[in-house]
Chains A and B, each alone.
Chain A
Amino acid sequence: MSDIFDVVNNFHETKKEIGYVDFKSATEKDYKKIGFKCGLEVHQQLKTEKKLFCRCPASTYQKIDEYDAEVIRHMRPTLSELGEYDGTALMEFRTRKNITYRLKNETTCTYEIDDTPPFKINLDALKIAIQISLLVKQSVVGELHIIRKQYLDGSIPAGFQRTGIIGIEGEIPLKNKTIRLIQISIEEDSAREISDIGHERVYRTDRLGMPLIETVTYPEMLTPQEAAEACQYLRFMARSTGNVYTGIGAARQDVNVSCEGGTRVEIKGVAHIKWIPLLTHNECYRQVALLKIRERLLKKIKPSEWNMNVVELDYNKLTSSTHFVLKAKEENKKLIAVNLPNFKGILSHFTQPGKMFSNEIADRLKVIACLEHPNMLSSEMPRPEFFFADGDYIKKALDASDDDAQIIFWTDEYDRQIATETIEERCQMAFEGVPNETRKGLPDGTTIFERVLPGADRMYPDTDTAPICIPEKLIEDIRQTLPHDVCDEMKTLTEWGVPESAWTYILKNNLMMMIRRINYETDVNYKFIAKLFAYDLNHLEGQLKPSGEFTFSKVLGMFRFIKEENLHPEISRLMLVELYQQPNMRFESILEQLDFKRRDKEKLKSYIPLLSEKFDQINTSKEADAKFHWVMGQIRNKAIGNIALTDLAKIVKESI
């Protein structure tokens, strides 16, 4: 090729053109400008002993290579009444995945792999779900109807998930607004994916069938920060019941995002709330970019006139020695070249930080056509060596003109057609704007294509389960067990004077009742206890490892001991350091370890003259209260636990 298109420049220019604002400097105004809108689907595992529809243990996990048997399934789409497969169904069927389930006898029975109909619903799970539904002021249904929601990715061996609505509507409060809820459903958790390579996808079935609730909000969060805040609230609220699991993966969220004129795109399985802001920020701008691409394309050509040209390349006519091509040749793969008319400048168009439009195509090739990355080269890559060397041959073979772009991919015959269709389909979608799809969030804040977004029309009644009546009596009984509303708890923390930076730790660990109890039994003030947990203990957890099991009730025991021994609560900060490392140590021994001795006011006072004298000899500081600070420092450890440090300060001040 004679003139090589400046890809890097195009990338940066297009990024500017769409008005991309860096996440760190983005303001509410920027989000308003692009019409940022976000809704949440928060999944929370319920803390029950057994699974939802069978009697296997919940929350017992198996390692990746730990299994007793394997079962293989294929998912076949069922047709809607229109006689057509829906989007996801068709895609998953086209991908022709062999799905292998790895079963462990301890965690999986014949129900999970759909060889036995469901048993009666787990009543404990149902009660917890109703409890949470009531907490967010929902309209609870009169009768729970289990329905089947189709999933063709294999994450559920039956091909559908059993799920049912517990309550609808309801609301949660954010700092400055209220977010409305659409619904809460109770459902089975899915299998955990082990790998997905080529045509083989492997799952383990330990988590499969665990009870969880899904809370769905309206898309009313208008900034990425609001989305994270709402998610945080829902998590605290669920945890405040004490009836949900809290480990890694026990709560996961799907976040749906759209920009003005865009499409509701779902980012699936976001593992950490702190990832939400950046992910939603980038997704929203990706949509803005895709709308811009649409505009550019429509100026050049009508979608109905757009035709892709495809040829198979002859290895013998190539001169370049690009590694991928050599490898493809070695593996006897076919080398396919595709011409995309009028796509010059589109393939390298900015979509996300570090990603361009060609990534959209490459990701779909991986998921739909099962071509593993790296799976293609294009005329608009940052370093298109291949096109330097063989550009003329390729362009000639494709009968391409200067305003076109080209893609090369390698495949075996089996995947060739689907791969070609996938490229064509994604390019056609570029004329429409933002495709309907679910995406997977990556730790760097960008997303990749996961699958086509399924519609609401993949649900139908479960004929294996009878409707379950939720009588008034049950609701009233559950109402009695409701914990304090998280919103109320936040108010309480404010009243106690606990700084906001301490709230997360306290609410996350459901410590409000514990703080109340310690205060009730020992009279230590709320703020002190709260800070001991949120700062001291939180810090220790990050630094040290306990030798035995450390529980929050150890802290209660410590405060009881301090009260019984008539010590000043300030010693708790020193004791906690020892207690955390040696949870089973007696409190007396901890005091010994700290070299604690009982000293009354007079005794403490008696140290001061000598210290005062010593200071005068060694002093070099000119600061006014240098002496006070030095003496305090010398005497502090002797006083702590015996008298309040504020009292000590008074005595020192008086005596020097």
Chain B
Amino acid sequence: MADLFKGYKGNALELLKKYKIRVWSDAVVSTTRGEFAGIVLPRAENDDDLHIVLKMVTGYNVGILVDTITNMKEEGYKEANYKIPEKEFPYSAEKPNVKLFGTGGTIASRLDYRTGAVIPAFSPGELYGAVPELADICNMTTEKLFAVFSENMGPQEYITLAKCIGKEIENGIDGIVVGHGTDTMHHTAAALSFMVQDSPVPIVMVGSQRSSDRPSSDAALNLIHATKAAAESDIAEVMVCMFGPTSDEYGLLHSGCRVRKMHSSYRSTFRTIGDTPIATINKDSITHIKDNFKHRRKDRDVKILPYFEEKVAIVYYYPNMQPDIIDSLIENGYKGIVIAGTGLGHVNKEIYPAIERATAKGIAIYMTVQTLWGYVHMFVYDTGRDLMAMGIIPADNMLPEVAYIKLGWALGQADDLDKVKEIMLTPISDEITEREPYNGYLVFQGGIPEMEAYLKRIHK
């Protein structure tokens, strides 16, 4: 029964029942404000119980105030059907084979114009219908691993994903694409960088910043770029492939451990921090920026290291932080803490005792910088030296999120803190780099005349 009134509750539900009107009814509603006609749409769970939503013949939706309704009449009924017809993804023996893993984010979608619903497209047939260019690049197969939002991706998902990728590589795939929500894409990219080592093929993570129902969405172009990178590129690393500028011009291939989402909504939100991206990519070509990457190989000698200790936390330091923050982690049995410290890697004296308690309990504590750019330098000031004496280990220029993922992964495979330290400080995939190139730090400042002249010339 509940299904007949999708999402309606309280007063609105009462009224629908009273007049025997179901969701998907073609209804005429008389109100004190006039008469409205249209199809009764489902109501979003979090919306109030004071309105009933109609889709009118003009295509517009309107809400009708329950208090004003004097009569309702069902004139017809047609339940919406969200099925998308599929077109078979063409196969060609000469083309590379690419596997697309889905984790829950919508990469492509189609509209159900009648009801206005946005239906995700995922199967090869659906994708081919939405982004036919993919068939020019590769033979594609897809597998939906999870259906979770980006923020719900966690250790269990990292492990499953790593294992599935390993299996595909063993089976001879030429490239992997992972569709992912953008919010935590860089966490998952780091996790895969550690869990899938020495991959002979590219593993490319991709998503979209603007939903794929919009004609100007970045989704299709990102997917085309990512698929091309997976199918054709010589870069056998875990990468994130997203827009370079906000303009529809080219994408960037970022190293999975140096990339970070830097804007809540911009298309060009992903940036490589403290280094340059590996390459730029467009529909026609891949242009390398760096040449010291791992090359594609014929063999299948991939190492899958699916470990993760969940009792690890990031502590973002702020002035006046109290020791109880650290103490609560100790009490709750945490095994590792990554601190995002100020400046070169500092915290205030007040929490020293808590840090001493933590290291005494055998908790691994690593220091990163909340400035994101730059290295931890704990020898420069007394504070840093004090902290190291207490057992905090500087994590060089590892990004806080990457350090968090790596510490979880290291503690997942070793209990001995010296062993953990060795794992942590041995670079696997550029999470620590020996040097920061001069162009690794670029945050432009608007308003400065030469910068404005430059902005006018390039497409941001």
A residues whose Cβ falls under 8 Å from a Cβ of B? 67-83, 89, 105, 110, 113-117, 138-145, 147-152, 157-160, 163-165, 168-169, 182-183, 185, 456-461, 463, 466-467, 469-472, 475
- Is the Cβ of B459 less than 8 Å from the Cβ of A70? yes
In the bound complex, what is the Cα–Cα distance between A68 and B454 (angstroms)? Answer: 10
For window 403-460 of B, CB contacts with A under 8 Å fall at 446, 452, 455-456, 459-460
Interface centre among B47, B246, B455 (most CB of A within 10 A): B246
- Is the Cβ of A159 less than 8 Å from the Cβ of B214? yes
- Is the Cβ of B114 less than 8 Å from the Cβ of A469? no
Selected A-B contacts with CB under 8 Å, 28 pairs: A69-B459, A71-B460, A72-B247, A76-B217, A77-B215, A78-B214, A80-B110, A80-B112, A83-B85, A113-B246, A114-B210, A115-B267, A141-B62, A142-B50, A144-B62, A145-B60, A145-B61, A148-B213, A158-B214, A163-B60, A183-B58, A459-B113, A460-B118, A461-B61, A466-B47, A469-B48, A469-B63, A472-B67
Q: Per-residue CB proximity of B27-44 to A under 8 Å, as 1/0?
A: 000010111100000000
In the bound complex, what is the Cα–Cα distance between A78 and B118 (angstroms)? Answer: 10
CB of B167 within 8 Å of the partner chain: no
- Is the Cβ of B215 less than 8 Å from the Cβ of A72? no
Q: How many residues from B make CB contacts under 8 Å with A?
A: 66
CB distance from A199 to the nearest CB of B (A): 14
Give the residue name and chain of the B residue nearest to A182 (CB): B58
B33, B51, B112, B248: the one within 8 Å of A139 (CB): B33
Interface centre among B59, B67, B82, B221 (most CB of A within 10 A): B59
CB of B135 within 8 Å of the partner chain: no
CB distance from A38 to the nearest CB of B (A): 18
Q: Which residues in A have their C-beta under 8 angstroms from that of B118?
A: 460, 463
CB of B146 within 8 Å of the partner chain: no
B84, B117, B213, B216: the one within 8 Å of A75 (CB): B216
Give the residue name and chain of the B residue nearest to A82 (CB): B85
Give the residue name and chain of the B residue nearest to A116 (CB): B265
In the bound complex, what is the Cα–Cα distance between A467 and B118 (angstroms)? Answer: 18
Give the residue name and chain of the B residue nearest to A166 (CB): B62
- Is the Cβ of A114 less than 8 Å from the Cβ of B56? no
Q: Which residues in B have their C-beta under 8 angstroms from that of A458?
A: 59, 113
Q: Which residues in B have their C-beta under 8 angstroms from that of A78?
A: 109-111, 130, 212-215
In the bound complex, what is the Cα–Cα distance between A168 and B38 (angstroms)? Answer: 12
CB of B2 within 8 Å of the partner chain: no
Q: Which residues in A have their C-beta under 8 angstroms from that of B212?
A: 78
Q: Which residues in B have their C-beta under 8 angstroms from that of A467?
A: 47, 51, 53, 63
CB of B357 within 8 Å of the partner chain: no
Q: Which residues in A have their C-beta under 8 angstroms from that of B221?
A: 74
CB of B293 within 8 Å of the partner chain: no
Task: Given A68-B452, A115-B265, A460-B117, verify A76-B220 contact (CB < 8 Å).
Answer: yes
For window 75-89 of B, CB contacts with A under 8 Å fall at 82, 84-85, 87
Q: Which residues in B have their C-beta under 8 angstroms from that of A105?
A: 446
- Is the Cβ of B64 less than 8 Å from the Cβ of A68? no
Q: Which residues in A have their C-beta under 8 angstroms from that of B60?
A: 145, 147, 163-165, 183, 185, 459
Pick the 8 closest A-B CB pairs, nearest first: A139-B34, A143-B63, A159-B215, A142-B65, A460-B116, A459-B59, A72-B247, A145-B61
Q: Which residues in B have their C-beta under 8 angstroms from that of A183?
A: 58, 60
CB of B277 within 8 Å of the partner chain: no
In the bound complex, what is the Cα–Cα distance between A475 and B217 (angstroms)? Answer: 38
Q: Which residues in A have their C-beta under 8 angstroms from that of B85?
A: 82-83
Please classify the interface of chain A as helix (H, G, I), strand (E, B), loop, or mixed, using the class held by over half of its residues: loop
- Is the Cβ of A144 less than 8 Å from the Cβ of B117? no
- Is the Cβ of A169 less than 8 Å from the Cβ of B50? no
Q: Which residues in B have their C-beta under 8 angstroms from that of A110?
A: 265-266
- Is the Cβ of A81 less than 8 Å from the Cβ of B112? yes
Q: Per-residue CB proximity of B188-231 to A under 8 Å, as 1/0?
A: 00000000000000000000011111111100110000000000
CB distance from A636 to the nearest CB of B (A): 59
A72, A168, A457: the one within 8 Å of B459 (CB): A72
- 20 other A-B residue contacts (CB within 8 Å) besides A114-B216, A116-B264: A67-B456, A69-B456, A70-B459, A73-B248, A78-B212, A78-B214, A79-B111, A81-B82, A83-B129, A114-B210, A141-B33, A142-B64, A148-B213, A148-B214, A160-B214, A164-B61, A168-B34, A169-B35, A458-B113, A461-B116
CB of B68 within 8 Å of the partner chain: yes
- Is the Cβ of A150 less than 8 Å from the Cβ of B459? no
CB of B249 within 8 Å of the partner chain: yes
In the bound complex, what is the Cα–Cα distance between A147 and B446 (angstroms)? Answer: 34
Q: Which residues in A have their C-beta under 8 angstroms from that of B452?
A: 68
CB of B57 within 8 Å of the partner chain: yes
- Is the Cβ of B459 less than 8 Å from the Cβ of A71? yes
- Is the Cβ of A142 less than 8 Å from the Cβ of B246? no
In the bound complex, what is the Cα–Cα distance between A369 and B82 (angstroms)? Answer: 35
Q: Which residues in B have their C-beta under 8 angstroms from that of A71?
A: 245-247, 459-460
- Is the Cβ of B215 less than 8 Å from the Cβ of A68? no
Give the residue name and chain of the A residue nearest to B64 (CB): A142
- Is the Cβ of B51 less than 8 Å from the Cβ of A469? yes
Q: Which residues in A have their C-beta under 8 angstroms from that of B220?
A: 76
- Is the Cβ of B215 less than 8 Å from the Cβ of A142? no
- Is the Cβ of B111 less than 8 Å from the Cβ of A141? no
- Is the Cβ of A143 less than 8 Å from the Cβ of B113? no
Q: Which residues in A have their C-beta under 8 angstroms from that of B264?
A: 116
In the bound complex, what is the Cα–Cα distance between A76 and B130 (angstroms)? Answer: 10
Interface centre among B33, B264, B456 (most CB of A within 10 A): B33
Q: Which residues in B have their C-beta under 8 angstroms from that of A116?
A: 264-266
Give the residue name and chain of the B residue nearest to A216 (CB): B58
- Is the Cβ of B87 less than 8 Å from the Cβ of A142? no
- Is the Cβ of B111 less than 8 Å from the Cβ of A80? yes
In the bound complex, what is the Cα–Cα distance between A75 and B210 (angstroms)? Answer: 13
Task: Given A75-B216, A456-B59, A459-B113, verify A139-B460 contact (CB < 8 Å).
Answer: no
Q: Which residues in B have their C-beta under 8 angstroms from that of A80?
A: 110-113
For window 4-33 of B, CB contacts with A under 8 Å fall at 31, 33
CB distance from B452 to the nearest CB of A (A): 6
B31, B211, B455: the one within 8 Å of A463 (CB): B211
Give the residue name and chain of the B residue nearest to A143 (CB): B63
- Is the Cβ of B111 less than 8 Å from the Cβ of A117? no
- Is the Cβ of B265 less than 8 Å from the Cβ of A152? no
Q: Which residues in B have their C-beta under 8 angstroms from that of A457?
A: 59, 113-114
- Is the Cβ of B114 less than 8 Å from the Cβ of A145? no
In the bound complex, what is the Cα–Cα distance between A89 and B215 (angstroms)? Answer: 9
- Is the Cβ of B33 less than 8 Å from the Cβ of A140? yes
- Is the Cβ of A141 less than 8 Å from the Cβ of B265? no
Q: Per-residue CB proximity of B112-138 to A under 8 Å, as 1/0?
A: 111011110000000001100000000
CB distance from A25 to the nearest CB of B (A): 38
Q: Which residues in A have their C-beta under 8 angstroms from that of B263?
A: 115
Give the residue name and chain of the A residue nearest to B37 (CB): A168
- Is the Cβ of B216 less than 8 Å from the Cβ of A145? no
CB distance from A302 to the nearest CB of B (A): 31
A89, A151, A157, A168: the one within 8 Å of B56 (CB): A168
CB distance from B327 to the nearest CB of A (A): 39
In the bound complex, what is the Cα–Cα distance between A282 and B214 (angstroms)? Answer: 36
CB distance from A384 to the nearest CB of B (A): 42
CB distance from A433 to the nearest CB of B (A): 24
Give the residue name and chain of the B residue nearest to A468 (CB): B63
CB distance from A136 to the nearest CB of B (A): 12
In the bound complex, what is the Cα–Cα distance between A475 and B119 (angstroms)? Answer: 37
Task: Given A68-B452, A70-B459, A114-B210, verify A456-B57 contact (CB < 8 Å).
Answer: yes
A81, A139, A165: the one within 8 Å of B113 (CB): A81
Task: Given A144-B63, A164-B60, A183-B60, verify A139-B215 contact (CB < 8 Å).
Answer: no
